[in-house]
Amino acid sequence: MKQILLLASLLCGACAISVHEATKFHNTGTYGGTVSYTDNGDTITLTSNGLPDHPFERVNPNHPETRSDVYTLPKKPTVANSPGCLAMGPIGMTVTGSMIYDPLDADGENAVEGSGRERFDHYGGHTDNHGIYHYHKLPGSWLYKGEQDELLGVAFDGFPIYGPLASDLGRDVTNKDLDECHGRMVHGHYRYHVNTEFPYYLGCYKGNPTHANHVRTQHGICTSTSSLPEYGYVCACPKGAHPPPGGVAGNHHHHAGGLFGR
């Protein structure tokens, strides 16, 4: 309870967030998963062993491995002047500590639909050849409950990721409601939404992603050209790209809320 109340106070900032939403950052440990956080003042550190909070179903030869993933995120993330590209692999963390991936497979094809569609378990995820269990698409009911304004995770630029059902719209968001990065402003604060339309979670980074272990932050500036135009917009980092020191120079624009600093 002490952890829940502490996280609730961190989440509040200028805008209150409910204790119910704060409790979403939790893993029961029933299946060996862990997730925790540390308040560093201007930043928050999330630590996870990467295991999901639901049974594991083997849909490919890979098996989830226990790791030590540490992500330090700003409490008040900044919207960049130019959107940033998504590196292949992890782009965020769910509230249970498992990873969120970009929408593409290793060949640059849509991992969810079409000829490159991969196999997913009953819970909407699977494990890659590095032993990382992750989601490319809207997860099953074990994680996503279908509630209004449901917090599902956080992207590595610090902005929160919500489910599709939005109370201010009274319906599920569609891509027409969202910008190129698959997010929108709600009551003065930026948030991403996961829905059933490509690119599912993020199309690009709205803010400035941080370096973290197990994450390749190949941050580059995006153009209006999609990396997979036949499905919609996504800005994928070029293979072999490297982030400039300190991220994209001059990209800090303004604070727009965030998961931990509102």
> What is the tens place of the pLDDT at every residue in 223-240?
999 999 999 999 999 876
Q: Which secondary-structure segment (H or E) carries 35? A: strand 35-39
Per-residue pLDDT averaged across 120-124, rounded? 95
Percentage of residues of the chain with pLDDT beyond 90: 63
Enter the pTM of the model: 0.85
Per-residue pLDDT averaged across 111-119, rounded? 95
Per-residue pLDDT averaged across 175-199, rounded? 97
Per-residue pLDDT averaged across 195-215, rounded? 84
Which of 29-38, 60-69, 72-81, 95-104 shows the lowest per-residue confidence on average (mean pLDDT)? Answer: 72-81
Domain span at 160:
19-207
Asked, for residue 224, whether it belongs to a domain, the answer is no
Cβ-Cβ contacts under 8 Å for 145 (sequence gap 6 or more)? none
* DSSP class of 42: S
Distance CA 17, CA 9 (A): 8
Q: Confidence class of residue 120 from pLDDT cuts 50, 70 and 90?
A: very high
Asked, for residue 153, whether it belongs to a domain, the answer is yes
Q: Tally the domains of the chain.
A: 1
Asked, for residue 157, whether it belongs to a domain, the answer is yes
Asked, for residue 229, whether it belongs to a domain, the answer is no
